[in-house]
Amino acid sequence: MTDRTPTVHRAPAGALPGGGWTLRSPSGVVAELLDFGARLQSLSMPDRHGRTADIVLGAVDQRQLHGDGAYFGATVGRYGNRIARGELPLDGTVHTLATQRTGHTLHGGPDGFATRHWDAEPVRTDHAAGVRFHLTSPDGDQGFPGTLDVHVTYLLDAGGTLTIRYRATTDAPTVVNLTNHAYFNLAGEGNGTIGDHLLRVHADAYLPVDAELIPLGPPAPVAGTPFDLNRPTPLGPRLGLDHPQLALAGGGFDHNWILRPAVGLRPAAELHHPASGRRVECLTTEPGLQVYTGNHFHGSTGPAEAPHPRHGGIALETQHHPDSPHHPGYPSTVLRPGEEYDSTTAYRFTTGQPASENSAEDGPGRDAGGR
């Protein structure tokens, strides 16, 4: 092992809320993981001048992990995103799931995977270091059928790419849709909003939603709408547009984009902060990307000295589509005995200017105004 090899260490007791691990890459990227929720608690990286900042919003204590910060950086499941009315139709039976106060099942229910203590062990390869988390979700957990055996592995490589691999098996038919719920602010946690970030999403369609953020049905084209992010687009002006779908989501994005089909890892999104030079590229094997722009942050979530304002972070959640069990035309989320759920997402963290086609001058297209 050389000083160019990433490392993994158990954090000292009390150093991180919920017990955790520290991954270090020679690129300067440092990730902290928690056993509680198998979550990404923080990720520090340098800017173009070598100044380091934590670019992931994280909870500061156990109380917050059970409250406003419950989903921050967490592995959410058994089903990320929403299942309408808590009704799961599967093989001719409708299973009743646990619901939140909205009357729908969000992120696996009120006591989903984000609220669990996972078993954990360090993992090392020739080029990466990380942690493998394990959880057994019993039959009937939050109303879901089947005992689900889940492994989530984080690996940080020497170049600063954090890869998350999700694997699961079941002893009875069920549905599975796992994702990570990290919020990014590339200026650094507590440093304003994401309004000065540029976002690109590789998608030609998205899922419009109703007033309760349940997909209406078929995908809609992004062309001519605020959802056309095929070129790097400043978020501040885009989030401020007058468009019915933005209003339904609370004044911003909380929608699923339909990624272009591909085999293996495909580009999903790029987020860039021109002032610092920090950039994150998101690649995934999943068919969709949920983008949530912190529309309901209210200034009380986060460290007392740096509360998160509205639009204080952005989540790039790779996943299957919301409410898929009620939409046969969406890619299936059903997992059966003898099959393996296997999903991979990678976040590549770099510093510097994007390629010319991704430059800051490439703002919103003239047809993207949401008229």
Confidence of residue 354 (pLDDT cuts 50, 70, 90): very low
Two structure tokens written together for 15:
């150093």
The pLDDT of residue 2 is above 70: no
Q: What is the pLDDT of residue 137?
A: 98
Active site residue 181: yes
Choose the catalytic residue: 202, 317, 320, 321. 317
Between strands 341-351 and 161-170, the pairing is antiparallel
The pLDDT of residue 361 is above 70: no
Residue tagged 């987020």 (tokens): 271
How confident is the model over 259-278, as a mean pLDDT? 96
Q: What is the pLDDT of residue 307?
A: 65
In terms of Cα–Cα distance, which of 150, 225, 158 is closest to 1?
Answer: 158
Question: Using one digit for the tens of pLDDT, what is the confidence trace for 164-206?
Answer: 999 999 999 999 999 999 999 999 998 899 999 999 999 999 9
- CATH topology for 7-358 is Beta-galactosidase; Chain A, domain 5 (2.70.98)
**Residue 234, φ and ψ in degrees, nearest 5:** -60, 130
Percentage of the chain modeled with pLDDT above 90: 81
Report domain extents, the chain: 7-358
Give me the chain's average pLDDT, please: 90
Binding-site residue ranges for beta-D-galactose: 81-82, 181-183, 254
Burial class of residue 210, CB neighbours in 10 A (0-12, 13-18, 19+) = exposed
In terms of Cα–Cα distance, which of 204, 321, 192 is closest to 260?
Answer: 204
Choose the catalytic residue: 181, 255, 272, 311. 181
Percentage of the chain modeled with pLDDT above 70: 89
Residue tagged 């934590």 (tokens): 54
Q: What is the pLDDT of residue 357?
A: 41
Question: Using one digit for the tens of pLDDT, what is the confidence trace for 15-26?
Answer: 666 679 999 999
Q: What is the pLDDT of residue 365?
A: 34
Question: Using one digit for the tens of pLDDT, what is the confidence trace for 204-217?
Answer: 999 999 999 999 99
* H or E element, residue 135: strand 128-137
Rounded CA separation 319/316 (Å): 10
Question: Using one digit for the tens of pLDDT, what is the confidence trace for 301-343?
Answer: 555 444 688 999 999 999 999 999 999 999 999 999 999 999 9
Active site residue 317: yes
In whole angstroms, what separates CA 277 from the centre of its chain? 22
Question: Using one digit for the tens of pLDDT, what is the confidence trace for 67-84?
Answer: 767 899 999 999 999 999
Q: What is the pLDDT of residue 355?
A: 44
In whole angstroms, what separates CA 338 from the centre of its chain? 28
How confident is the model over 48-64, as a mean pLDDT? 87
The pLDDT of residue 218 is above 70: yes
Q: What is the pLDDT of residue 58?
A: 87
Binding-site residue ranges: 81-82, 181-183, 254
The pLDDT of residue 156 is above 70: yes
The single-letter code of the amino acid at 282 is C
Residue tagged 């902290």 (tokens): 32
Q: What is the pLDDT of residue 190?
A: 86
Q: What is the pLDDT of residue 309?
A: 86
- DSSP lists the bridge partners of residue 46 as 52
Q: What is the pLDDT of residue 332?
A: 97
